[in-house]
Chains A and B, each alone.
Chain A
Amino acid sequence: MNVVPPALDKLIADFKRLPGIGKKTATRLALHMLRRPAAEARNLARDLAGLHDAIKLCSNCFAFSENDPCVICADPRRDPSQVCVVEEPGDLMAIEKTAIYKGQYHILHGVLSPMDGIGPDEIKVAALVERVRRQQVKEVFIATSSTVPGEATASYLVSQLQGCSAKLTRLACGIPMGMDIKYADELTLTRAIEARKTA
């Protein structure tokens, strides 16, 4: 016999579909929503329902945005001749936090993963090549992760952009801040030594 009321059971099942949420966490969240005032649940439902209508992809950089172009592409202080290529919108946010980069972005919305059926046609590679040619971009700064798929994607982008006049740069790779070098693996240490700069 199921003692959980069907409406609560349905909400638990809905929460369970979210990434990283199992049945226990889903139950805790559902019970939490039930304990809070009804207005709070209604606000959350309204925000969720309006999400897809309010947010779209910027036609220039493919960032999630309420406007097209997005705030970064529409900002006259951002340099359109410099394009930073990232895997996901979360990576854009991480680079923006540094407040050091003043160019625009291009979001690939994924990395190449042949095993999962994700090839160049499934991510925004063609749009990047077309944009670099159309906008006369001077520098394409590839900031994909230094994981195997991230590096393979970066290599593929370099091969596709090779004929363009833009300078191609890659995010430096080496020892993270606060790390003891004796714990670094040979590959990381090799890259760090290769990319060393004058002190």
Chain B
Amino acid sequence: MPTHETEAIVLKVFDHGESDKIITLYTEGYGKITAIAKGAKRSKRRFVNKLEPFSHLIITFATNKYSSMVRIDEAELLAPFPQLRSDYQRFSCASLICELVLNWLPDHDADHTLFTLLTWSMSQLGEQRPLTTLLFFHLHLLTLLGFHLHLENCQHCGGKEGPFLFHPETGGILCKGCQKTSGMAAGIPLSLGTLKILTRARDLPMTKWPRLSFSNQSIGEAKALFQAHTSYLLQRDIHSWKQINCR
């Protein structure tokens, strides 16, 4: 069986039978893959403390032409991100990021930029403001997937005068006047401050990220926006959102 080596972030792990584990990873070279680690539950050397959620690894895996599931033969731990275990908010934010990748990304579709964003977000979550990191990740994930949010002006009249409402169906904002005439269901109210910071965050590269500062109101509004938008696009709820406390 041919073997491959790549960097990876562990998204989800569950036990399989008496001694195996099934792991979903986002890899740098091969995109999202699902792998079996034989004997991982009882392993004292090869896999101990490595195949844990959020871990950054280098894995060696073997492919099988009869199955889409690969077999992990070796794993080297690059970063375990221990801070994500010691704080529930950081843990919830990391879980949400992994759940988004699990649900948004197709298998075997590698994207180097996304892998960089994912590893950067995991390390930032442990050190910086977790909610700001989460919102930054979500915004940039949507852009990478081709769902560019239109937050500059009203999508119907082009007006720049608020107040504005976000509509998951259009991925953009409408002013109150256009909202009334459009016949669309009420959208998510966004303050001008939230629109400004989201637009700035969307256009900001990762290196400039520490300049961002979301107010509590903006974090709450952005959470409502992303939650509704993702549910609309994926046609399913993202469970981890329920555990994100914006206060």
Interface residues of A (CB under 8 A from B): 20, 112-117, 119, 146-149, 151-152, 155-156, 159, 176, 178-180, 183-188
Query: For chain B, which range describes its interface: under 10, 10 to 19, 20 to 34, or 35 or more residues?
Result: 20 to 34
Interface residues of B (CB under 8 A from A): 12, 16-18, 44-45, 48-50, 52-54, 77, 80, 82, 84-88, 91-92, 95-96, 98-99, 102, 239-240, 242-243
How far does the alpha carbon of A96 sit from the alpha carbon of B21 in the complex, in Å?
Answer: 27
How far does the alpha carbon of A156 sit from the alpha carbon of B84 in the complex, in Å?
Answer: 12
Q: A20-B18, A117-B239, A155-B88 are in contact. Are A187 and B95 (CB under 8 A)?
A: no
A113 (CB) vs chain B CBs: closest residue: B95
Closest beta carbon of chain A to B113's beta carbon, Å:
24
- The dominant DSSP class at the B interface is mixed
- Is A188 touching B44 in the complex (CB atoms < 8 A)? no
A contact residues around B84 at 8 Å (CB) = 148, 152
A contact residues around B99 at 8 Å (CB) = 114-115
A contact residues around B242 at 8 Å (CB) = 114, 117, 119
Query: Among the listed B53, B54, B80, B92, which residue makes an inter-chain contact with A185, where contact means beta carbons less than 8 Å apart?
Result: B80
Q: A185-B77, A186-B80, A187-B82 are in contact. List 6 more A-B contacts (CB 8 A).
A: A112-B88, A114-B96, A148-B84, A148-B85, A155-B85, A179-B44
Complex A-B: 25 CB contacts under 8 Å: A112-B91, A114-B99, A114-B239, A115-B102, A115-B240, A116-B239, A119-B242, A119-B243, A148-B52, A148-B85, A149-B53, A151-B85, A152-B86, A152-B88, A155-B87, A155-B91, A156-B88, A159-B88, A179-B44, A179-B45, A183-B45, A185-B49, A186-B77, A186-B80, A188-B49
B87 (CB) vs chain A CBs: closest residue: A155
A contact residues around B239 at 8 Å (CB) = 114-117
- Is B45 touching A115 in the complex (CB atoms < 8 A)? no
How far does the alpha carbon of A110 sit from the alpha carbon of B59 in the complex, in Å?
Answer: 29
How far does the alpha carbon of A185 sit from the alpha carbon of B102 in the complex, in Å?
Answer: 27
Q: A115-B98, A187-B80 are in contact. Are A152 and B85 (CB under 8 A)?
A: yes
Closest beta carbon of chain A to B107's beta carbon, Å:
18
- Is B44 touching A187 in the complex (CB atoms < 8 A)? no
Closest beta carbon of chain A to B100's beta carbon, Å:
10
B contact residues around A148 at 8 Å (CB) = 52-54, 84-85, 91
B contact residues around A180 at 8 Å (CB) = 45
Closest beta carbon of chain B to A160's beta carbon, Å:
9
Closest beta carbon of chain B to A168's beta carbon, Å:
14
- Is A155 touching B53 in the complex (CB atoms < 8 A)? no
Closest beta carbon of chain A to B240's beta carbon, Å:
4
B12 (CB) vs chain A CBs: closest residue: A115
Closest beta carbon of chain A to B76's beta carbon, Å:
9
- Is A187 touching B91 in the complex (CB atoms < 8 A)? no
How far does the alpha carbon of A155 sit from the alpha carbon of B88 in the complex, in Å?
Answer: 7
